[in-house]
Structure 1
Amino acid sequence: MKKTLLLLILTFLFSFRTYAQVENRLSFLLENDLTGFAQPLATSIGTAFNSGGYHDAYIPKLFGFSIGIKGMLILIPDDQKTFTPKNLPSGYTADKPTATIYGDKGSVYSGPLGYLAYPSGLNQSSVPMVFPQASISFMGTELMVRYLPTIKVDQEEIDLFGFGIKHSISQYIPLFPVNIAVQFLYNTFSISNIVDVKNTAFNVHASKSLGVLTVYGGLQIESSTVDFKYTFKDPNGLDPSKKNQEISMSIDGNNKFRMTVGGALNLAFFVINADYSLGNQGVLTTGLTFQF
Structure 2
Amino acid sequence: MKRIVLLLALCSFSLGMAQSNLNDLLAAGLNDAERFTTAWLAPVTEAGVYSISNGWYNSADAKPLGGFEISIIGNITGFKNKGDKKAFTLNTADYENLTFTDGSTSKEVATALGDIEGVDVAVNATIEGQQVSTVFELPSGLSSEDLNFVPSGYIQASVGLIKGTEVKARFLPKIKTDDVSIGLIGFGVQHDFTKHLPADKLLPVAISAVIGYTKLSGEYDFTSTDVINGENQRIDAQFSSWNFSAVVSTRLPVINFYGGLNYITGKADTDILGRYEIETTVGAPIVYNDPFAIGNNISGVSGNIGTKLKLGFFRLNADYNIAEFSTFTFGVNFGFR
Q: Structure 1 length normalisation: TM-score?
A: 0.84
State which of 225, 235, 258 in structure 2 corresponds to 1:216: 258
The answer to whether residue 47 in structure 2 is matched with residue 44 in structure 1 is yes
State which of 55, 58, 72 in structure 1 corresponds to 2:58: 55
Q: Is the 1:261–1:277 Cα contact (8 Å) retained in structure 2?
A: yes
Q: Is the 2:278–2:286 Cα contact (8 Å) retained in structure 1?
A: no
State which of 77, 85, 107 in structure 1 corresponds to 2:119: 107
SS in 2 for 1:171: helix
The answer for the alignment partner of 2:244 in structure 1 is: 202
The answer for the alignment partner of 1:10 in structure 2 is: none
Q: Is the 2:77–2:328 Cα contact (8 Å) retained in structure 1?
A: yes
The answer to whether residue 107 in structure 2 is matched with residue 96 in structure 1 is yes
CA displacement, residues 28-74 of structure 1 (integer Å, 9 cap, x when unaligned):
45222233211122112211211111110001333211111001111
Q: 1:180 to 1:268 in 2, by over 3 A?
A: same
State the structure with more CA Rg.
Answer: 2
Distance in 2 (alpha carbons) for counterparts of 1:26 and 1:171:
54
CA deviation after TM superposition for structure 1 residue 268, in Å: 1.0
Q: 1:94 to 1:63 in 2, by over 3 A?
A: farther
CA deviation after TM superposition for structure 1 residue 235, in Å: 7.2
The answer to whether residue 208 in structure 2 is matched with residue 184 in structure 1 is no
CA deviation after TM superposition for structure 1 residue 162, in Å: 0.6
CA displacement, residues 176-199 of structure 1 (integer Å, 9 cap, x when unaligned):
442011111111111125111111
CA deviation after TM superposition for structure 1 residue 284, in Å: 0.3
The answer for the alignment partner of 2:71 in structure 1 is: 68
State which of 126, 132, 156 in structure 1 corresponds to 2:149: 126
Between stretches 41-50 and 216-225, larger displacement belongs to 41-50
CA deviation after TM superposition for structure 1 residue 128, in Å: 2.1
Aligned amino acid, residue 125 of structure 1: N
Aligned amino acid, residue 83 of structure 2: D
List aligned pairs for 1:1-292, cutoff 5 A: 16=9, 19=13, 20-22=15-17, 24=20, 26-29=22-25, 30-76=33-79, 77-85=82-90, 87-89=94-96, 92=99, 94-104=105-115, 105=117, 107-109=119-121, 115=135, 117-123=137-143, 124-139=147-162, 140-175=164-199, 176-192=203-219, 194-231=236-273, 243=288, 246-253=291-298, 255-292=299-336
Q: Is the 1:197–1:224 Cα contact (8 Å) retained in structure 2?
A: yes
Aligned amino acid, residue 21 of structure 1: G
Distance in 1 (alpha carbons) for counterparts of 2:237 and 2:211:
23
Gaps of 5+ in 1: 1-12
SS in 1 for 2:106: coil
Aligned amino acid, residue 239 of structure 2: V
Between stretches 154-163 and 179-188, larger displacement belongs to 154-163
The answer for the alignment partner of 1:9 in structure 2 is: none
What is the percentage of aligned positions where both structures have the same residue?
A: 28
Q: Is the 1:213–1:263 Cα contact (8 Å) retained in structure 2?
A: yes
Q: 1:111 to 1:42 in 2, by over 3 A?
A: closer
CA deviation after TM superposition for structure 1 residue 234, in Å: 8.3
CA displacement, residues 144-166 of structure 1 (integer Å, 9 cap, x when unaligned):
11123321134221121111111
Aligned amino acid, residue 240 of structure 2: K
CA deviation after TM superposition for structure 1 residue 210, in Å: 3.8
SS in 2 for 1:97: strand
Distance in 2 (alpha carbons) for counterparts of 1:225 and 1:67:
27
Aligned amino acid, residue 65 of structure 1: F
Distance in 2 (alpha carbons) for counterparts of 1:284 and 1:15:
17
Aligned amino acid, residue 88 of structure 1: Y
Q: What is the count of residue pairs matched by the alignment?
A: 278
SS in 1 for 2:35: helix
Q: Structure 2 length normalisation: TM-score?
A: 0.74
CA displacement, residues 206-234 of structure 1 (integer Å, 9 cap, x when unaligned):
00134411100000001121111115958
Distance in 2 (alpha carbons) for counterparts of 1:96 and 1:236:
27
Gaps of 5+ in 2: 1-5, 26-32, 126-133, 220-234
Q: 1:179 to 1:203 in 2, by over 3 A?
A: same
